[in-house]
Amino acid sequence: MPEALILGAGGFLGLHALDALRALGEEPRCGRRARSNVLGLRSRKARMASADLDDEASLVEAMRGCDRVLHLAGHYPRTSLDPATATRTGLEQSRRVLNAAAAAGVQRLVYVSSTATVAPNPEGLSDERHSYPSPPSHGLYHALKWQMERLFLDEQRFEVRVACPSGCLGPGDLRVGTSALLIALARGMDPPHPDGTVALVDARDVGQGLARLLLAERAPKRLILSAENHRLHELLCSVAPRYGVPEPSPALSAAEAIARADEEEARSVRENRRPALSREIVDLVVHGQPLSARLAEEQLGLRWTPLSQTLDALDAWARRLSLIPSAKDQPPCSAPPTRPASSASSPT
């Protein structure tokens, strides 16, 4: 039987997609770069194949005998300081993946993009129909994700499906995006943050969605994977009691947040550490849209884990790894439930 290949299987979402595919009886090959962290793949006894996005021959070799490829390894610039290099790298790597897939005879490729490519809907929730006609000018992250997604959507040699997961939360998170803010909050660090709409989704649901998108006979060309829409500041306030920490300081204005993030990123490069606030997350929050993932529910039969359950799972994981202090008198289940600002999914 033809196999599936996952590019980026060792990452946060990749491992969840691998778990979901295995639950469906697939034993996908997992592409690995020479120096990448493969602890998660090792502990799962995954089958690994060398695949480097900067080496097209290695990609063709890894894809040989595979009819489907799940690509979660799209370029993710650590900072927004060098747009030219980041854009060149992202687009070149994307072309290599596409060319290798064509050469290896792949029939279907699922590319994992971002909800950064979903444009606002003045009348309400945004869905798959709302996209920007040209690269949005919010910042590097949005522009790069738009250009990369365009390349994949334009592919004619084989079938491409694009998944746009919103802010992913859940066990295994490598402390990026919204969960970085949540963990900082839980550690009592009062993280500086802008305010805006954040669409969130359980990473396990995204894994399930990606697995189904890869295997389904028929599916839409572009699909949003997202559960709930929240206002970021309100969300941080509502989860503070869960960790027994005070409510966070008021949100920064958009301009303040952008200036602060640019400054943090410059310093993080000098000091070789993670920025306390990244430009990418600021852009995502400031320009965030409330989303609807009805299409994924209808077409793939997906259901979304409520945020409170996702946070329970995230907390349990983060406590085990001592990323946040263990609960003493604050069991996660007794924390007040988080309240969606507006629900992306109608009650079922």
Partner 1 sequence: MRISGPPLPPLPVGGLTEAIEAIGYRRQPWLTVVRGREEQAFSGAELHALAARWQAAIEGAGLEPGERAVVLFPNDERWVAAFLGLLRAGGVAVPLAFPASLSDPAEAMRRLQPLLTAADPRLVLTTPELAPFVALPSVTQPASSPATGAAPVRGEDPAFIQFTSGSLGQPRGAVISHRAALSCTFSMGLAMALGPVDRGISWLPLYHDMGLVGALLCPLFFGFPLDLMRPGDFLLHPSRFLSRAAHIGATVAAAPDFGWKACARRARLPPGDLSRWRVALNGAEPVHRSTIEEFQAAFGPHGFRESAMRPSYGLAENTLGVALYEPRDPAPDLQHEGRLLPSVGSPLPGVEVEVDPQGEIRVRSASLMSGYFRDPEASAAALDDGWLRTGDLGQIHQGQLYISGRIKDLVIHNGVKFHPYDIERVAAEAAGSPPNGAVALARPGPEAEELVVVVEVSGRNSEGVDRRVRGALVDQLGLRPDQVLTVAPGALPRTTSGKVRRPAARALFGGQHA
| Chain positions contacting partner 1, by CB under 8 A | 1, 22-26, 208, 211-212, 215-217, 301, 303, 305-306, 309, 348
Q: Bridge-partner residues for 49, per DSSP? A: 31
Return d(Cα 347, Cα 208) in angstroms, integer. Answer: 20
CB of 13 to partner 1, least distance (A): 18
Tell me, what amino acid is at 15? L
3-state SS assignment for residue 189: coil
Concatenating the DSSP letter of every residue in 24-92 gives: TT---EEEE-TTS--HHHHHTT-EEEE-BTTBHHHHHHHHTTEEEEEE------S-SS-HHHHHHHHHH
Nearer to partner 1, 306 or 325 (CB): 306
Nearer to partner 1, 174 or 316 (CB): 316
CB atoms within 10 A of CB 160: 23
Helices 177-186 & 279-286 angle (0-180, nearest 10): 100
Tell me, what amino acid is at 208? Q
Concatenating the DSSP letter of every residue in 224-250 gives: EE--EEEEHHHHHHHHHHHHT-PPPPP
CB of 330 to partner 1, least distance (A): 17
Nearer to partner 1, 188 or 301 (CB): 301
Nearer to partner 1, 38 or 216 (CB): 216
CB of 21 to partner 1, least distance (A): 9
- Stretch (H or E) spanning 284: helix 279-286
Q: Which residue matches tokens 């697995």? A: 211
Tokens of 11: 């990452």
Nearer to partner 1, 272 or 348 (CB): 348
CB of 297 to partner 1, least distance (A): 11
Tokens of 175: 């402390």
CB of 311 to partner 1, least distance (A): 12
CB of 213 to partner 1, least distance (A): 9
**CA quadruple 145, 73, 213, 206: dihedral sign:** negative
CB of 88 to partner 1, least distance (A): 37
Nearer to partner 1, 49 or 210 (CB): 210
Nearer to partner 1, 35 or 218 (CB): 218
CB of 11 to partner 1, least distance (A): 21
Return d(Cα 76, Cα 297) in angstroms, integer. Answer: 28
Nearer to partner 1, 208 or 238 (CB): 208
Nearer to partner 1, 189 or 333 (CB): 333
Neighbouring residues of 247: CB distance < 8 A, sequence distance ≥ 6: 236, 237, 240
Tokens of 51: 């695949």
CB of 337 to partner 1, least distance (A): 12
Give me the half-sphere count of Cα atoms (radius 13 Å) on the Cβ side of residue 72. 23
